[in-house]
Amino acid sequence: MGNMTTTGSRQDIPGDGYSPATPPRPTAPETTVAEPEETSVHHVKTYAAGIPAVAVSMQRGFTQMGPFRTAKTFLELNQRHGFDCPGCAWPEKPGGRKPAEFCENGAKAVAEEATRRTVTPEFFATHPVSALRERSEYWLSQQGRITHPVILREGATHYEPIDWDSAYRMIADELTGLDDPDRAVFYTSGRTSNEAAFVYQLFARSMGTNNLPDCSNMCHESSGHALSTTIGIGKGSVTVLDIENADLIVIAGQNPGTNHPRMLSILGDAKRNGATIVAVNPMPEAGLMRFRDPQRVGDILSDGTDIADEFLQVRLGGDMALFRGLAALLLRDEKRAPGTVFDHEFLTEYCDGLDDYLAAVEQTDLDEVLEATGLTMEQLETFARLWERSERTIVCWAMGLTQHKHAVATIEEVSNALLLRGMIGKPGAGVCPVRGHSNVQGDRTMGIWEQMPESFLSALDDEMGITSPRDHGWDVVDSIRAMRDGKVDVFMSMGGNFLSATPDTDATRAALEKCRLTVQVSTKLNASHLHTGTTNLILPTLGRTDRDIRGGKKQQVSVEDSMGSVHLSRGSLRPSSDQMRSEVGIVCELADVMFGADHPVDWLGLAADYDRIRDHVSRIVPGCEDFNTRVRQPDGFLLPHPPRDAREFPTESGRAQITTNDLVWLPTPPGRLIMQTLRSHDQYNTTIYGHDDRYRGIKGNRRVVMVNPSDIEAMGLAAGQRVSIISEFETDSGVEERRVDDFVVVSYPTPPGNAAAYYPETNPLVPLDFVAAKSNTPVSKGITVRLVAA
């Protein structure tokens, strides 16, 4: 399998030390949380899922929820009449859903939300904020669900309870008193439902600002930007059915075994249908290598399915060079046998920009490609051969492509390679940016974006009777800059953990502390509640799993998955406190206090019946017509996607754009490493479940830096040694440095010159101004660092 040399043994399943065959059965949820002690490093796993994954799921459920709630919760997860998994945005397979349509990490995400542990006013009375600041994100998130609205008043040492009406009054007074509505910023994290997202952006725009940064700015913004340019719509062009029917699937910069485990089942199906799968990744990720489907008895008993047929262990940031190199070989072969490689009919009928691009491809220096990618000519030739033979090619990607300086250009290069062979808008082929948060794509559809197009704004104004501002607002990075520069008084956050998720933690902390009022609508405690504006409010909200009753009616919300399919989600668990309110309720009640009864929007009416929100949306968002009826169909409905549906490209010229960019890659400077920040198997973004990274064989500590053994030796270090990581960032006035201490060096088969460490512990190393061209996404996967012995 490719050039993978360092792997663990596949026989090590029963004794891997993590996976009891039968999970323990505590009768009540556990309540004590210990901080971690030490690191140990085992073999890198070469398989994912299987029995250990099932055992972990059940154990997580018991620990957080107790047995009864566990059974109820897992039975309803991702079922037609249940709730949508808050874990990731991977779609459920339409039609026959399997009895347990979830994965180990979905189960963890659910257990974390449905936990019976609680953070009450008594908790806040006994824990001063100064003490909570010393705690890790792990400890904070393990305390459980926040039960009551609480306020941290100016100069206070503790949070204290506040009633909802006073909280709304305080926010409304602050917002009404602003000199300029743009002195307020409204952040959204991608778990927010369509309905909540819609009323939230309506609130911000009614107030007069487009300052609607969201987690997508740090996530797939580069994909949206690139695809809008190339195919005219910033969303993926394939469905699950396409994946099952593709004959070549390339998975670049994505770790599905951990972050989208349900994707592995579908990849397994695709393989059984004859697909070849190519993994492009600096890390030999377990999920890409071998997969045991816990839903297939045969797989559990055997070694499972080899997922990747080819493993291209690319250097960090080498993907643009890989796809340019591919194009160079395609051009060479097309010249040798004209008409056999390129899809000329497609190119002539649908595409612009071919000649300029081929002129650039002609100039490709293949030696540079090999240096940039770290691959061999043989691997590049194999990749080209697979690409040329494929009739139905799909490229899937995630953060490994989007979080680079040249992310937009890289994704445009991927798109070029597909367009050359006419791989957009036919069954089994296309682009597949795999989204992160479970509703991050839906939030955008509902208007959460600082630069929504005029077509949306004017439809919104006509339907709702408001006048939306037209100037673009601030995204995440620009919001932090504005806070830093004293331009923001009020920061509100609909979910998420703004402080820890954003780059340059120290700078962001200082920026947040400059606000007069910060407000978080949250389910669980996190660091953003502890480094705040002068006054801070935490408003406790219902999650996906919670029953939501309003106006005497059981409400349901909707979400859009990674492939543009919209469906309902209904929570059913009894909330941990009667003080929690739904996100929709919170926004609408606040708006009612703020705008009064004369406002053109009937805010309280919307909160009493979410169908009314969907009715408005159905008249504003193309493709959502008849929302309430269609979303109640068994699998919901699919939003239109002109390139996928009809090879129509809604670009300015009406044609797909083949784009030409200068080749960029990331050489490693002498004595330095290029480092990526990524997720372990035991976290959901900044919510840390535990300190093990099972598939990578790392146990007991997250403050580790994974380095190739040859680099460890060259730097005169040793595995297990404690180091500081110092990042270097060139500016006009010299090199800026940032530093984190107390990390342990782990010897790991990452490419020479490349390193990896976990997010969010390493976010202090990512400079605020180090962003991707065009998308403004923080460069979390390509920072220059040096390691210094402690």
Ligand X SMILES: Nc1nc2c(c(=O)[nH]1)N[C@H]1C(S)=C(S)[C@@H](COP(=O)(O)OP(=O)(O)OC[C@H]3O[C@@H](n4cnc5c(=O)[nH]c(N)nc54)[C@H](O)[C@@H]3O)O[C@H]1N2
**Contact between 277 and ligand X per CB under 6 A:** no
**Contact between 280 and ligand X per CB under 6 A:** yes
Decide whether 287 or 447 has the Cβ nearer to ligand X: 287
Are 615 and 629 in contact, with CB atoms under 8 Å apart?
no
Decide whether 408 or 521 has the Cβ nearer to ligand X: 521
744 binds, among Mo ion, ligand X, none (CB under 5 to 8 A by kind): none
Return the closest-CA partner of residue 674 out of 782, 551, 790: 782
The count of other CB atoms within 10 Å of the CB of residue 269 is 17
- Residue among 93, 117, 271, 437 that touches ligand X (CB under 6 A): 437
Rg (CA), the chain: 25
The span from the first CA to the last CA of the chain, in angstroms, equals 38
Amino acid of residue 277: I
Residues 603-622, interacting with ligand X (CB under 6 A): none
- Residue among 150, 171, 219, 501 that touches Mo ion (CB under 5 A): 219
- For 305: left if phi > 0, alpha if psi spans -120 to 50, otherwise beta; the answer is beta
**Contact between 659 and ligand X per CB under 6 A:** no
Least distance CB 260 / Mo ion (angstroms) = 11
**Contact between 282 and ligand X per CB under 6 A:** yes
501 binds, among ligand X, Mo ion, none (CB under 5 to 8 A by kind): ligand X
CA separation, residue 375 to residues 236, 290, 384, 598 (Å)? 28, 22, 13, 65
- For 169: left if phi > 0, alpha if psi spans -120 to 50, otherwise beta; the answer is alpha
Least distance CB 119 / ligand X (angstroms) = 10
**Contact between 316 and ligand X per CB under 6 A:** yes
- Residue among 39, 245, 780, 784 that touches ligand X (CB under 6 A): 780
Q: Among the candidate windows 19-27, 343-351, 434-442, 633-641, which touches Mo ion by CB under 5 A?
A: 434-442
**Contact between 436 and Mo ion per CB under 5 A:** yes
**Contact between 767 and ligand X per CB under 6 A:** no
Q: Among the candidate windows 48-56, 299-307, 435-443, 514-522, which touches Mo ion by CB under 5 A?
A: 435-443
Decide whether 235 or 524 has the Cβ nearer to ligand X: 524
**Contact between 70 and ligand X per CB under 6 A:** no
Least distance CB 632 / ligand X (angstroms) = 22
Least distance CB 436 / Mo ion (angstroms) = 3
**Contact between 687 and ligand X per CB under 6 A:** yes
- How many DSSP H helices and E strands does the chain contain? 32, 33
**d(Cα 300, Cα 272) in Å, to the nearest integer?**
16
The count of other CB atoms within 10 Å of the CB of residue 40 is 12
Tokens of 185: 């910023």
Helix (H) or strand (E) holding 184: strand 184-188
**Contact between 174 and ligand X per CB under 6 A:** no
Tokens 């075994």 -> residue:
257
Are 709 and 746 in contact, with CB atoms under 8 Å apart?
no
Contact track, ligand X, 375-404, x by CB under 6 A: -----------------------xxx--x-
Q: Among the candidate windows 14-22, 60-68, 279-287, 604-612, which touches ligand X by CB under 6 A?
A: 279-287
**d(Cα 307, Cα 281) in Å, to the nearest integer?**
14
**Contact between 587 and ligand X per CB under 6 A:** no
Decide whether 210 or 281 has the Cβ nearer to ligand X: 281
496 binds, among Mo ion, ligand X, none (CB under 5 to 8 A by kind): ligand X
Least distance CB 749 / ligand X (angstroms) = 11
**d(Cα 110, Cα 689) in Å, to the nearest integer?**
11
Give me the helix-helix angle, 583-595 and 164-176, nearest 10°: 50
543 binds, among Mo ion, ligand X, none (CB under 5 to 8 A by kind): ligand X
Tokens 């600082």 -> residue:
450
Decide whether 132 or 407 has the Cβ nearer to Mo ion: 407
For Mo ion, which residue has the nearest CB? 436
Would you call 372 helix, strand, or coil by DSSP? helix
Q: Among the candidate windows 70-78, 160-168, 212-220, 324-332, which touches Mo ion by CB under 5 A?
A: 212-220
Least distance CB 684 / ligand X (angstroms) = 4
Least distance CB 651 / ligand X (angstroms) = 26
**Contact between 215 and ligand X per CB under 6 A:** yes
Tokens 């596949």 -> residue:
10
Decide whether 311 or 603 has the Cβ nearer to ligand X: 311
Residues 406-425, interacting with ligand X (CB under 6 A): none
- Residue among 147, 445, 676, 747 that touches ligand X (CB under 6 A): 676
680 binds, among Mo ion, ligand X, none (CB under 5 to 8 A by kind): none
**Contact between 677 and ligand X per CB under 6 A:** yes
- Residue among 120, 211, 230, 258 that touches ligand X (CB under 6 A): 258
The C-alpha torsion from 111 through 195 and 541 to 587, rounded to 10°, is 170
Alpha helices by DSSP H, 376-525: 377-389, 399-402, 407-420, 440-445, 454-464, 476-484, 498-501, 505-512
**Contact between 405 and ligand X per CB under 6 A:** no
759 binds, among Mo ion, ligand X, none (CB under 5 to 8 A by kind): ligand X
CA separation, residue 371 to residues 319, 325, 368, 375, 377 (Å)? 12, 11, 5, 7, 10
Decide whether 53 or 466 has the Cβ nearer to ligand X: 53
Tokens of 300: 């559990």
**d(Cα 449, Cα 98) in Å, to the nearest integer?**
35
Could you tell me which residues come within 8 angstroms of residue 442 by beta carbon, excluding any fewer than 6 positions away? 193, 194, 197, 558, 559, 560, 566
**Contact between 558 and ligand X per CB under 6 A:** no
Residues 468-487, interacting with ligand X (CB under 6 A): none
Strand-pair category, 248-252 with 393-397: parallel
**Contact between 189 and ligand X per CB under 6 A:** yes
**d(Cα 586, Cα 188) in Å, to the nearest integer?**
14
Residues 75-104, interacting with ligand X (CB under 6 A): 87-88
**Contact between 254 and ligand X per CB under 6 A:** yes
Are 144 and 117 in contact, with CB atoms under 8 Å apart?
yes
Could you tell me which residues come within 8 angstroms of residue 269 by beta carbon, excluding any fewer than 6 positions away? 244
**Contact between 218 and ligand X per CB under 6 A:** yes
Residues that bind ligand X (CB under 6 A): 87-88, 105, 141, 189-191, 215, 218-219, 252-255, 258-260, 280-283, 285, 314, 316-317, 319, 398-400, 403, 436-437, 494-498, 501, 521-524, 526, 541, 543-544, 583, 676-679, 683-687, 759, 763, 766, 780-781
Residues that bind Mo ion (CB under 5 A): 219, 436
